[in-house]
Amino acid sequence: MSEDVKTPATPLKIRYERKDKETTVVYVNNRKIGQVNRQMNMKWRMSPSFPYIRTETDQDLEYDGPIEASRYMVKMWERMREAQDARSEEEHWYEKMFQDVSF
């Protein structure tokens, strides 16, 4: 009987690129996940470029700075990736169930 061994998660490489005074682009592992924009009230809002799981009012939240907003967007991105991984595992449940049965 084999045990599923989970490998430790690789650390994310997060990069911020200032596009202009009002916009910062956010990258995770060299993949653009979105940008944060400064609003008229000097607060920052997220603009994710990925499908995400909305909890409470994620995208409507405002932050004091671009790094704070970017970090929250990275957390949203991680939740989305975890959900995709879980869905992928669920889609192949039958393969795991019958892996020892020969037909």
**Domain locations in the chain?**
14-91
Higher pLDDT, 33 or 80: 33
Binning pLDDT at 50, 70 and 90, where does residue 64 land?
very high
Q: What is the pLDDT of residue 95?
A: 59
* CA 76/CA 54 separation, integer angstroms: 8
Percent of the chain with pLDDT over 90: 47
Backbone angles phi, psi at 79, to 5 degrees: -60, -40
Instruction: Provide the H-helix boundaries in 5-103.
Output: 66-91, 93-97
Mean pLDDT of 72-92: 79
Q: What is the pTM of this model?
A: 0.70
Mean pLDDT of 3-9: 52
Tell me, what amino acid is at 37?
N
